[in-house]
Amino acid sequence: MRYRILGGTGMEVSAYCLGTMMFGAAGNPDHDDSIRIIHRALDHGINFVDTADMYSAGESEEIVGKALRGRRDDVVLATKVHFPMGEGPNRGGNSRRWIVREVEASLRRLGTDWIDLYQIHRPDHRTDIEETLGALTDLVRQGKIRAFGSSAFPAHETVEAYHVARQRGLYRFRTEQPPYNILARGIEGDVLPTAQRLGMGVLTYSPLGWGFLTGRYRKGQEIDLSRGRAARAPQRFDPSIPVNAAKLEVVEELVKLADELGRTLPELAIAFAAAHPAVTSVILGPRTMEQLEGLLKGASLVLDDAVLDRIDELVPPGTNVYHPVGLWSPAPLTDAALRRRPVGDRAAG
């Protein structure tokens, strides 16, 4: 396993990061089995583990904490804050009040005295970015976290946060965690170049495109919308929907390419994400040991220029076949009132 410096922090992290979203009630409810999977990843050389407070309502952090007993010093541990953790106001977001409270809850669940990378899970336009950066800076100075980063932030908000930190004498985001895969390359045009220019580490998630790059879903084959991920979000899998049909078309060509290489489609997909010069580490999110073992087999795969050119022909650089789940959308695109003048003020004359 190769190791890279994480965003100028001096911390060396493996080129694969173990994501733990699937450990707990949302995926694998067997704690002992989940712990075995984590240990297998560590034994293979992965030293970077990513979780979040909201994964299975804190259960994922508890599992990770149990798995790292006796091995904590060997692991760069990352978690996140933002999404609601309970009913009522002030139980989510990026306010100082919530960050200071929730970091203590994460430390308890993880069974550790410090978090290596504390990430803001999503932007929060109700909270001034200076408020958020100020709270995170204080946590670094208190020794509760070593560094902090963002997740699914648009490039312009990353730049804004950078300048606010410089102007106010605050610590800055050292990393960004965006979704990135062959079917979702939109961030190549702005997020990844911005991270490179600002010296940020990048840990990408969803390298298998919500399962479409596993080869499990194929053109012309019936997709059971009543099971697994398809049951939770059938609109993302229903082949009668044009965007899903477009994904299946690309997958057919990618399967052919993987076969030519003598590799599996997941191995091809993860090697693609790891090949981008801005990407520090690719997050793997297995639910079972079998899935982990299959993904680890691709660690040595090197995609040459000819293969990457073939992929560029199928999905041009900087384009999305689908809009990645969880990726930030500009408010004017989701709220019509922000892109429409009052009726009485729309006429030019």
| Bridge partners, 79 (sequence order) | 118
Kindly report the three-state secondary structure assignment for every residue of the chain.
CCEEECCCCCCEEECEEEECCCECCCCECCHHHHHHHHHHHHHCCCCEEECCCCHHHHHHHHHHHHHCCCCHHHCEEEEEECCCCCCCCCCCCCCHHHHHHHHHHHHHHHCCCCEEEEEECCCCCCCCHHHHHHHHHHHHHCCCEEEEEEECCCHHHHHHHHHHHHHHCCCCCCEEECECECCECHHHHCHHHHHHHCCCEEEEECCCHHHHHHCCCCCCCCCCCCCHHHHHCHHHCCCCCHHHHHHHHHHHHHHHHHHHHCCCHHHHHHHHHHCCCCCCEEEECCCCHHHHHHHHHHHHCCCCHHHHHHHHHHCCCCCECCCCCCCCCCHHHHCHHHCCCCHHHCCCC
Q: Which of 55, 162, 180, 217 is catalytic?
A: 55
C-beta neighbour count of 324 within 10 angstroms: 21
Place of tokens 């408010």: 331
Q: Which H, E and C letters describe 199-227, residue by residue?
A: CCEEEEECCCHHHHHHCCCCCCCCCCCCC
Annotated catalytic residue 55? yes
Query: Any idea which residues carry the catalytic annotation?
Result: 55
